[in-house]
Amino acid sequence: MELPRLEPLYQTYREQGFEIIAVESQRDRKRAVKFIAKNQLSYPCLENGDGDAEFIYQTFKVSTYPTSFLIDGEGRILFVHVGFDKGDEENLAREIERVLALD
């Protein structure tokens, strides 16, 4: 599960302007609230819409979860990562550092 492994990255880089916004794809609010509390996630977690209000696919054409985007301050997508395997947080940390160095 990637979301708990993103929390240390958020804590490390948030003072430098790094933000995480997680989007819950299952549309199961009760389950999501329990998961967020259990894992002490401190970054925003949003609920994806359904049908015409389905935001993630409509905006980013995401059909595989998890998918991570690093977006710079100008709104440009600089890095996309599909899936999340053990050790991917180290690769993501390198990309975050690279993006933060650009700003």
Q: What is the pLDDT of residues 10-58, one digit of tens each?
A: 999 999 989 998 887 777 889 989 999 999 999 998 888 777 777 777 8
Percentage of the chain exceeding pLDDT 70? 98
What is the reported pLDDT for 26? 75
Taking a C-beta distance cutoff of 8 angstroms, is the pair 7, 18 a contact?
no
Q: Over range 64-90, report the average pLDDT.
A: 87
This prediction has a pTM of: 0.82
Taking a C-beta distance cutoff of 8 angstroms, is the pair 81, 67 a contact?
yes
DSSP H or E stretch at residue 59: helix 55-60
Give the three-class secondary structure for 67: strand
